[in-house]
Each structure stands twice: as C-alpha cells, then as structure tokens.
Structure 1
Amino acid sequence: MVQLDGKHTGKYLRSQILEILKDYNIGIENVFSITCDNGANMLSTVKDLQKTFPNNLIMESENADGLEEDQEESNILSNILNAFKNSVNLITCAVHTMQLSVTDVTKSKDTEIREITKVAKACRKMSYKNDFGNGSHVLPPLYAKTRWGGAFLMIQHFSKNFSFYVEMGKKHSELDLSKNWQFIHDFTEAFEPVFSATTKIQEKHVGLSDFYLAWLDTIRKVNLVSNPLAVELSNTLTTRLNTLKENMPLKSALLLDPRFNFHKSNVFTLNERVEIRQFIKTTHKKLCDISSRINETPLSDSPNNNTNAGEEDELDDFLTDMFGGALSAASSSTSQKECSLEEQLIMLDVSPRQPHSLDVWKYWTDRRLTHPELYDIATLIYTIPSNQVSIERAFSALALLLTSERSAFNNDTLQNIFIARVNKPILHSSPEQEESLSETINLKSEKSSDSS
C-alpha cells in the first residue's frame, strides 16, 4: 500500500504497481487476476457503479464530496484495469455485485426507506428517553451511507419489535409506521437471505465456486418468499449472476468443481466446455513457462469452512433441479491411473456429482499425485478471492496504524509495520514463513537505505 502523488493515469498507476511487484521480485507475467469492484466489461460497469453506488440508500442530504470520492475511486480502478487488461484476468467483487443487486430493487423504494429512517432518528429525542432508557427496549440502529446492510438491520429491528412500535405509534404520531408495516415485513423477509449471504461471502477466503454456490442458495431462499420485493430481487440476483458467470476463471472453477460439473450436467454447453478446457490448458502452459511445478505439501486445512449440514437435502435438491445428476458418495482418487491433462479434463465430464457440502480445496489436494496438472490449475483458480473484502480490511488496519500520534512515520517504517500487521495469521502459524517475511522486509529496508 503506497501513497500516490502523481496524476492517476493508467501509465502512472501501471508504473507504481510494477514498482511494487519489483520490490518482491514478481513479474507482471506472474499476476493471474485482479479482483476489484469492476467487471469484465470494465467501462460499462464503472458507469453503472457511478450511477447507482453512491446514492441509493442515502437517507441524509446528498454529499457532493463523498460523490466525488466515489467517482475518483472508480476512475482509479478504471485506469488500473486499462493498464493491465491485456495481461491479467478481471474478477468482479461478489460482495459489491450482490450489493448492486440490492440496489436494483431498493432504488425505487427510497421514499419508504426514508420514512422509516425518519422514525428511527425521532426515537432518539429526549422526549422518548424513558421508553428506551430502562433497558427493556433498544433504539433502532442507524447506518452508514451506501451500506445497505445497515438499512436492513434498521428495518429488521422494527419488524422484530412490531408490537412495541405499534403502541408507540398510537401514542406519538411522529413514530407512527402504520403506512409502512407491510413494506417493513416484506423487506425483512425478502432481503434476509441476501444479508446472510453477504456476511458469509465476506469470510476470510471464499473461492469462486463457493461464492457461486452461496449465491445460488440465496436465490433459492428468496424464491421461497412470496411478496413482490422477493420476486424482483430474485430476478436481479439471477441476472447479475449470469453476467458474473461470463468470467473465464469462474467458469474454470465451476468446471473443476464436481458439485457443478459431472456426468450429464447442464451447467455448460458443449461449446463452452471446449472454450474452458482451452483456457485451462493455456493457463497451465503459462504456469510451466514461468517455472516448473512446485511440489508443496498438501494442505491439511481448507481455507473454506464447510457448509452446515442442516439444509443439505434442500440445497442439493435445488441444485439437482437446476443442473440434473444424482449424488454419489465421495471416492478416493489415490488409486486412479495417472493420465494426461487432456484426459483429466475429459474425465471431469463423466465424474459423479458430489454434494454441495464438499470441500473442493481438499478434493483437489487429495488428487495432487493422480491429477498433478489439474491440481496446479485448481489450486491457482481456488486461490483467487471472489471479493475484495481483504483490501477493505487492510485499509482499516492502516487507519489504526496511521493515527495522529504516529504521523511522523516514514514510508518504509509504516510499510514494514503494515506488512507485519496484515500478515499476522501467517506469522503466528509458521516460524519458517515468519523468517521468510522478515528477510523480505529487511531486504526492502536495505534497498531503501542504499538509495538514500
């Protein structure tokens, strides 16, 4: 993370990124993907972002400075992607795209949300202190601009405390929500699955096929709700997911995942399968060109948590209706005969379907010896983050480090502390990795001393 002093043109941003990669001895040919707020059709998505993202759930007066900041951020991302679009794959942030799905529905419900927010603010008046100050009832939560999850929690609060607020509305006209109760109940029912899914896919690491599965499960749950908001939400979730699915790394993740690609699966057409196989073979060739395959110890722990078994039957039935196939018990592949990459790809299409609770990371680490080429591709594809939440967390970490009391830090000191902070889990889990990271930090410090 560096401070940008020049004009944010594509050429300038490219030079800054290449300089950072150079510090860690990484060439641009080693960068496989960029995960960001923008999709494959970059310019179109940036325009959509600028039109819809800043203002949809803002209940306050519009903030011109905030709008300029959002547009400036979009322009920065656009310039970065323009500079690298010929050499890397672009991954749309799943969390942001799901938020845009919500925006597609809520942008026409601004009046209702403003009215509910007005009541939530009115509850904070001193005249109602006794009603909320005795511990029996809490104030309805307010929320930050552009974060629809806060709006959902506020509306959900009113729904959960329906009886209390009905009585309050009878006593105080400014707290009367009688015209809004149907909307409150419909909104809470329709958007609860999306709120839960958004929380789930913001976990430490959610791979591409796991996010796709979580999104499908969200559509399934929304479809169980019978109200106009749910119908509209289901349609936009489906539309945006279909757009995301046009991304080739995501298609590859689904092709390599036996929960989606199996005997007689209809996830892909024949032409799509040919295209995806070619992408996988091209990617493998690039890996081979960069370096010989690195023999790593298979990971015993998966970066993903398994789905709870409580709804396995329902979700698997839903997936069966969508894609066909019959579930098969997981089988070990250690006894299978080693075969070429082309043969391995073809075998994927005749593999038995696995339940949605399958740990796909472990599935491929178990096949490291029998399917070495596909193992390389799978561990690359499933390492790609489906969202940029880690970057947001990094910004938060930086804000905690760069306080007014520590404003005298020079760039190198701040960078070293920051690296140690965001890599704390690695440092705690592996002394070898800690030593390697320390050597990297020392090398960067030595370079800085030499140059000064």
Structure 2
Amino acid sequence: MYMHTYVKFLTRKSVCKVCGMQLSGNHSTNLKRHLHVKHGEIIREFDTEEENKSKVIKKKKITYETSEESILNSIIKIVTTDGKPFMFLDSEGFKEIVDPIYNALGMNPITSRNIMSLVVEREESIKNDIRALVQGKLLSLKIDVATRMDKAILGVNLQMIMSNISKTEIIVKTLGMIQLTYTHTGDYIKEKILEIIEEYGITVDQIFSVTSDNGRNMVKTVKILNDDMEEPFFEDDTEAENWMGKLDEVSLANIHLVRCAAHTLQLCVYDVNKLNKISQQIDICRKLCKTLRTETMSRILIEHNKNIPSLDVVTSWNSTYLMLKQLIELKEFLATKCCINTDIEWDWVETYVEAFKDAYDATIKLQEKHLVYSEFFIIWTELKLQCQNSKNFLKQKLLAQIELRESKLLENTALLSAIYMDPRVNRSLTDYQKYLATQNLKKIAFRLFELKHERRSIKSPSSAYLDDVETVPESIEEPISDKLVKIYFEVDNFDKMYSRLPLNADILQFFSDVKLKSPQLSDLAHVVLATPATQVSVERAFSALHYILSERQSSISSHNLNSLLFVKLNSE
C-alpha cells in the first residue's frame, strides 16, 4: 500500500502517488480506503498478487516399485503399440515425467536418437523365441500385400498349434512386414517370402500350406515355391481374366494353396450382387444414401436423432449389406419427408437384408482370430443349410453360388484332411474324399518323421534321448517304414476309432486327450487343423500401418518400419 503513497513529514500528510490527493496522517486505514474508492484496480491487482504468493504448490512424495526393464517395455510400447512419433520422447512434458524415474533407476534417458536400437534388440529377442518355436515343425503361412501412403507392404504370418501339459492353443506369429520396392510378381514375392522364412531357419520343406486371396501373384508364388521354377506361370501378367479359374489349375506338390474362406464367401455374394436387376436396385439405394449424407440432409437426420447411413465400398459386400440395413431403419422417417424423392422398392430391400443376414453372420464368425480349418467347413455347411431351408429367392441364388464353389473347395486335400481329422464333421465325406484325405495325411506323417529325424541328427545324444522319453521309444536305426506302420493304421481307421462329436465340442481339447494315447496322431491333426482358413490376422496386421505409418512419420525408413511393425504385432 505504501508503494502508492509518500509522507510529508512537515505537514504530517500522506500524498497519493497516483492522483496527488493529500490524506491526513500516515494511517494505513486511510490509505487503504482511498485506494479502494479511487483506485479499485490497484487494490484488485494487489489482492491477486498476494493470493498468488499465498498459494504454495504442494508436492507429494510417492513410492512405487519398478525396474529398468519395465520402463523400457513401456517406452517401446509408446512407439510401437501406440504408434507415437519418436519426437514424442523428446517433448518437454514427457521428459518432466520420466527424467526423475531415469535418475532414480540410474538409466540413460531414452530419446528419439536411441529408441530404434532398443526396438531392434527387442525384435531380435522375439525372433529368437520364434526360431526355437518352429524348429523341426510343419508350419502354415498366411500372406497378403497391402498399400498405405504409396508404400506396398508384404505381410507373412505363421500359424500353428502348440500343445503342452497345461493347454493346447493356436499360435499366430508375424514373421515379417516388409516393404516391397518392385512390381508384385509371383517370382518377386516368392523371393521376399524366402528371405523372411530363412531368417528363422525355416525351409520350404517345413511349409505345409499357404493361405492367401485368389490374386494371380499369390497363386504364382505358391506354384514356384513348390516347383522352385522361375519360368512364367502366366503368359501375360497384365492380362485381365478370371483368376479363380487359374487357381484351380495349380498343381500342388508339398505346399497346399488355401483360398481365404472369407474371400471365397465374399465372391459368392459378389456374384449374386452383380446380377443385372440386383445391381440396379443396389445402385438406387446407394444414390439415396449419397443424398442423405449431404450437409442439408445430414443436419435433418441429426435433428431427429437418426443415424446417417454409411456408404458402401463396392468391393466389400459386407458394407453393402450394412448400408441397406441402415436404410431400412430410416424407412418410416423417410416416408414422412416429402422433400426426399426415392424410387426405393422397400420390399426388395427387406428381402435382400433377410437373404444375406446369415451370410453376414458367417463372415463375422470367419473373422475370429483363432479358427481351426475344419470349423470353416462347419460354418460353410450351416450357411448352406440355411439357404436350402429358405424360400427367399435371393437366398436361393446365393445357394447356387455356394454349391458351385463348394465343389472346388472340396478338391483341396488340405481341407479334406482337416475335415477327416475332425470327428464333428468327418461323416459328411464320401468314401473317395476319405481316401484322398488319408493318402494326404500319410504324406504329411512321412514329412513329420523326416523333420523329426533331421532335427535329431543335429542334436546331442542326451537331447535326442529326452525326445524319445517324451514321445514313443524309437530307434533311429529302424527303417522309416516300420516307424510309420502305427500312424498309417491310425489314419486309415481314424473315423472308426473315434465316435462322432457334437458340433460344439472343443476339438483342440479332444486331441489333447488323444495325445496321451497317440502323440503322433495328435501332432498330425495339429498340422492340418492349424491350416489358416482366412487371412484375418494379416489383414489386422495391416491395420497397424495406420498407427505407425502416419502423416507425421511418412518418411520413416523401410528398415525402421519393418522393425516397429514386427515388435508391435508380436507383442499383442
């Protein structure tokens, strides 16, 4: 207060420095009253300053247990799982949080400059675990190619069934997500796949199946992996033709080419949708959805608490189904709006949604992460029966497409083998299909024995002895034919040895029980049942690109992108 006044000692008066007014005496009460009345802003400023001074930041001392490894894991998750740019680690706010932790643990700070070296170390650790996992095993792969921000990425996943005393489960691992720099020919993709699997010590002889879409480059890849040939499989890689037909001309040797089940079902529906009258009706619905998504109509829908219908992607029939389903929900509302002129045949739309509801539900089931191969056949058969029992004319058209493709599906001995080894459905096979399945299963059994003895040949005598104790006592000197007699007999008589199981039975648990009696038969079943029915895990892996390959990290190097994706996908 005295900052704004001074005192004339001779006259015993105080003078305001702001306005010059003289006040009697040198009393703080007079001074304060004057400032309140004449200069309120000064008092308010003074009160604010005093209040701020009185505010003391109260800090709490907290204690929690952590470790350098735990902090390292969390930081790696930030740049992989969360997809944060490296510069986030250099931000002031982040450093204020973690610097005290670094100091307490005696750690070197983790910054944008050293984070990749830590990610690469984690990548190598995960790869070592996978190398141990796949040694001497028959494996199934899933492959696909996707593009984001002008970068083409090849994804390769491994799928297998692992069994121990406590549990039996399907294991899915990402072997590689690598950027492609040349035209996606079958030869080039084959070269990149070999580079990926060789890093884990996996040989072509260990690959039982490859699941992919029906693209010509993927078909050719499996062909040349089988034959190890470099001559062109297709006369003209740019020729537009029906590659579904080409897929059936592939002569399979050791590696089984498996059609993605979800993609196959999508093609069934797609062929129905492209019929002239059906495609015309869908186009009319699509135009209405575009109208409803304009700014004016969107505002009207929002005002009436109505959902704005989605617009479908022509190549994805699921989105078409959902678009029409959402339109039906707006039927009554649109009938009250004379400003919206529609040529919609609502009865047709309702017939369409009813016809493809079961197919949509089947697609959702096929997208489950861990699906044994024979369960695809169960889902497929259930959909077929639903179509057969329906009088819906669109469902009958779908049934025709299902039956057309089913004949092709059941020519695949990998699928026949999985069905045969599943007591829930193996009674549905014909005698000839069972014959094809058993012949293929015997070939697989022979390959398993070859891999097993090849693995033993590089082991120490003690580790080989332990393997014998864990399975069935065998002598390496015995002829292979003698060792296969038992498994061949079990394969031939499998459908007679085990009674039918209900459809809701746990097939993995069933073979866990079988393993106690016949470990070789259980291992054989694990190979064919682990065949991936879909590419779902690869497609989900591609979604991770949106987290890591963003606008803020569009210039990330190919090597760093591969490492970040690999650690992210194998840490989930």
TM-score (norm 2): 0.56
Give the counterpart letter for 2:284 in structure 1. Answer: E
**Cα drift, residue 113 of structure 1:** 0.3
Q: 257, 261, 271: which is aligned to 2:432?
A: 271
In structure 2, the residue matched to 1:424 is 571
Counterpart CA distance in 2 for 1:190 and 1:381 is 33
Distance 1:271 1:224, change over 3 A: closer
In structure 1, the residue matched to 2:359 is 194
Distance 1:398 1:130, change over 3 A: closer
**Cα drift, residue 282 of structure 1:** 0.8
Is 1:122 the counterpart of 2:291 in the alignment? yes
Is 1:13 the counterpart of 2:199 in the alignment? no
Matches within 5 A, 1:339-358: 340-350=486-496, 351-358=498-505
Distance 1:154 1:214, change over 3 A: same
SS state at 2:313 partner: coil
Counterpart CA distance in 1 for 2:199 and 2:301 is 56
Write the deviation string for residues 301-339 of structure 1: whole angstroms up to 9, x where unpaired: xxxxxxxxxxxxxxxxxxxxxxxxxxxxxxxxxxxxxx9
In structure 1, the residue matched to 2:445 is 284
Distance 1:165 1:219, change over 3 A: farther
In structure 2, the residue matched to 1:26 is 202
Distance 1:405 1:126, change over 3 A: closer
Percent identity of the aligned residues? Answer: 29
Counterpart CA distance in 1 for 2:339 and 2:390 is 33
Contact 1:361-1:382 within 8 A present in 2 as well = no
Give the counterpart letter for 1:100 in structure 2. Answer: L
Is 1:166 the counterpart of 2:327 in the alignment? no
Contact 2:197-2:203 within 8 A present in 1 as well = yes
Counterpart CA distance in 1 for 2:306 and 2:526 is 49
Is 1:185 the counterpart of 2:331 in the alignment? no
**Cα drift, residue 135 of structure 1:** 4.8
**Cα drift, residue 246 of structure 1:** 1.3
In structure 1, the residue matched to 2:123 is none
Distance 1:270 1:224, change over 3 A: closer
SS state at 1:367 partner: helix
Contact 1:256-1:378 within 8 A present in 2 as well = yes
SS state at 2:258 partner: strand
SS state at 2:210 partner: strand
Distance 1:296 1:195, change over 3 A: farther
Contact 2:179-2:562 within 8 A present in 1 as well = no
Counterpart CA distance in 1 for 2:513 and 2:253 is 34
* Unaligned residue ranges in structure 1 (runs of 5+): 45-68, 298-338, 426-452
**Cα drift, residue 138 of structure 1:** 1.2
Counterpart CA distance in 1 for 2:559 and 2:299 is 53
Contact 1:29-1:87 within 8 A present in 2 as well = yes
Of structures 1 and 2, the one with the larger relative CO (CA 8 A, separation 6+) is 2
In structure 2, the residue matched to 1:303 is none
Is 1:239 the counterpart of 2:412 in the alignment? no
In structure 2, the residue matched to 1:215 is 380
SS state at 2:306 partner: coil
Q: 304, 322, 326: which is aligned to 1:153?
A: 322
Is 1:98 the counterpart of 2:259 in the alignment? no
TM-score (norm 1): 0.70
Is 1:385 the counterpart of 2:552 in the alignment? no
Write the deviation string for residues 135-154 of structure 1: whole angstroms up to 9, x where unpaired: 52111221223111111011
Q: 110, 125, 136: which is aligned to 2:305?
A: 136
SS state at 1:174 partner: coil
* Unaligned residue ranges in structure 2 (runs of 5+): 1-176, 221-236, 456-466, 471-484
Contact 2:284-2:343 within 8 A present in 1 as well = no
**What's the C-alpha RMSD, in Å, of the aligned pairs?**
3.2
Distance 1:71 1:355, change over 3 A: farther
Write the deviation string for residues 160-203 of structure 1: whole angstroms up to 9, x where unpaired: 343223333xx1352352xx112101100100000111011011
Larger radius of gyration: 2
